[in-house]
Structure 1
């Protein structure tokens, strides 16, 4: 009898494996086409908003310059009016007419150096001109009593009047006038003093402004009457009552921004306006939306040059990977079966190695991941700052992205702290003072149902540690304690001087040397821990909280921080009796060995324009460098970017006014950030250097602590943190280092 062969399972398993392997690759190929398109559309939308925001900012700066210019010119008009008042105050009309030539010469000499003035006139109470600077002698039959500016001053409440642009009767020219009432000694109306102003003086100034910043500019009364305009338009005399501009100044009389179609030529423009102090006159500037759109389209087209080939390459690689997957699926299935057989024998070994494995894994991804988070968080902050959309959902979406990114950054920092790779900025810290200053944030974090008590020892020793990480550790322990007391309870934070003797160190297995320590104990009256939970409490990702309620890294982070600070941590807990976690930090016998911990002062805002500080940024990651350049430029700094140390050394030669070097630690090309700083110091010994890093095993951090002469900003960082750190360095607020 021939025994029937049993069906062989490997081919079936291989077939299902092939099918499982193909599905994600097919999805990847589809995503490689769809995802770039979606990203391009989203990026285009965000980019358009940024272009509009930047154009609006430029318009507002231009209007501010126009307002300053117009204010100074109008001050000249006021001085001219006072000159007429002082020259002709209480002077009879007959005397002025009798000495017309002499007075005319004096007025002509006065206005000779003032190109903004056409002339200065004195008009009597009947509307007859008495004297002028450029017309001499005046026609005796000239009657100005019908002019609007003359009629306006018959009203006793009108002291100063600004006219529309009118044609001169004594000369072939146009002007607008600022007039002041002329009174007799007993206060009766006796005519007007008239300052004749050249509209083209303002138009020529507006024509000199950069064309990229504006399309139309002008000077207009609050009732819409045009006084000066660039480009000139003889048909435009007054803004329509229902125009965008008139509605805007009615809603916001001092200054504002407009967006809509012009009532003059129906062209859609974004505009800005501002009122002159002391006058019912506005300066305004507007930019065609079509110009903004053209600039935006040009920028987006440039991205397509790189995006289309990259998309095609990704799709091609996906097809190649799909073919390879089909060949290798059977072999992989066999390998997985072999791996499954060995899994049981490797469990113990993996458990023993998990501490070191998490540390190496975290360090391996930290640099690239923190670069990505820096670019994401920074650009979201820029987008929030520049967001002009009235749709609240836009801001909500951006804030949601920012919060998620910050949670990711916190997760990375916790992993680094647990694996003892987070850089510590060690200070000489008085723990009592730090705990006192945390009282407000602790009350906010744990709520009203938990009573917070502090028992602070007098004469507490100083210790050397990173105060920010100690605050985070105490806050983590306080939040865990709150969760262990759902019905309320008491949280106690206690400090004292302690001594760990050799017997305790030997029996507890503590990785510290016997000696003097500063104890910080956080205790609660909560539910307590079982022995099994207590033994695993410091394991990464271990948590007793429901799914989604915790990352399992809180106590792991505290454990890593204490160990990195050369300290010791111990848990004391019983079911129903609460928990006490004690952290021991070595006593600092020489306080001068580390800089003292001080509250940082509020940073001084940087300058702007030609007085802003020049900063050389050295960063090889394009996304990070783009965010830093945009953020610092928005604040007011002048930023020069270099991707490598060699490029930075060349560019610094062209920066005689450089104020600070901001460099990543890990750089391509053979020279890292520390070596670059040393090279720069040879030619610029007093130049401040700020390092940035997303990973700690590098040239400026040793044994988990920063070198004493290093200023570091850890990635990912926000615009606020970057601006504050720069001001601290540029303003010399950092405590002097030990000689």
Structure 2
């Protein structure tokens, strides 16, 4: 009887186990299939959001760059307005110096030309005087203005062309010069370097999960792209998916399809820049999105299959045990998440120091290698100036690649704040006066600009170019805060921050400062916005109209310069940003920079080269002999000091900074004790702390950074020997 009773129970238990086994197999499959479908949609939704976020950043960057080009073109137009071609040629040295100064301050600008009505250069930023035989009348940007296809007063964006002077690839942003009666008098052309955009887009792509980024004209002409296209691929097809989408939705849009440039199936987002026939585009390969989705599903399978097998094998007991293990796993994940949050905070605090150490560790050796490569290519190029065109093109390609590598190293040093500023004594009133004239010509007429310059203003000691950039950033923010117009006031004054003020702010040092205050009557900020105003990427602007980098860049510059920044704002009343720049109490006079001409030595001046890296030393010796110097060489400090004692005719010491046993700074000190009249120039790819302290080059120190070119070396040594290279 008991056995009979046990049979139905056993059968029921067996049926229950079968149901549980079937459910253990079916439910995970059903859940996994549903989760896969949802994750598939989420993967593409996240890809779209990532595209739009990246497009916002690129749109803001391109808009700022083109605004800067407009400011440059306007400034050049002001310099040449009302001048005849003869007047421009008469003032060519001064105008060339001004144009060269603008190019040095703006990395996105590679050259500036002012052309006459027949396309011949009147003045340029690279060479003085400009090549007289150069004829640019066939260039598209000259024809566009000369033939009237581009309306007067409107900028023309040219195609990417190879320059006829130095062979560099550039595209031109140009406007027409007008005669007194409105006739065509020539062209002002500002060259933009595609490599500048390529490098920026490379940083964006590598850090944002995007695969392509580009800048193109409305007709499909590609101006810059990452990754770079072959030289024979310059334009999108008018029948391709991108151009068809732009025709239907000119402002912005999302495109899915196979690219007509490289044949890859991709999701692209595009947006037109306001006021320009230019688009920025970003894309992500469909295969990348699918791969990410598959990896996510594979990670789920890794956990799901063992769990399912455990359910089948252990039935209800295994199920309860699995639940307990799941709870334990959840607690473990929570603990791991908490630890990750703490580690993330620690990594954020150590990031800048770690990047600085990493950059410094590689910069010295890497720049030495680049110096050997670039220097050898430079000498080879000079000696093959009349050689085979294909060989010269190969040399130029190699030089371009090595230059990009050098620029990458410099960007790493700048990002980690290991690249020195070049502060000079300056009058803040002159900076503000010059900038206010530029702002009056560029800001909307609805904004009234007022400058209040303090009398008897102290001198300050900062990097002039960085100060101008900071004030421009603040002026642009003020413009955006006053869409209906208002008043922008820039004021200078002497200021003193006392001990009480410094005690309430840990980062402030009490003392005397030069105050530059920028005030607007715009919308103002709430207390919550003010607390986050200096945070990178924080912005209150609409999507696509700001990246939140302006104030954080100003903050970083002021702090690195030893100053202080204060923010005062009230919602609906306006905002004041006060920049406290350290007062300069030294005796150095304010000097205006001037352009240096290429030089050739007299063949008699002796130079001692000290470099422990044999390849770099060989190049330096060969380069100096090429320039026309007599050269002695040493691999270390001990040999160098003996040569100085034996050769009193040595006029200049060219020494590496980072060397074993005795660094360049200590060698220079010892050499100057022997020869007080000796000129010293340091060459280095990374200074550590030998001649740079707190991010600033030591006073009175002459430095040329590796890798350098032969003309740069010649100009530097000539300036130092003549006493003008401080």
Query: Which protein is bigger by CA-based radius of gyration?
Result: 1
Calculate the TM-score normalised by the size of structure 1.
0.43
Calculate the TM-score normalised by the size of structure 2.
0.43
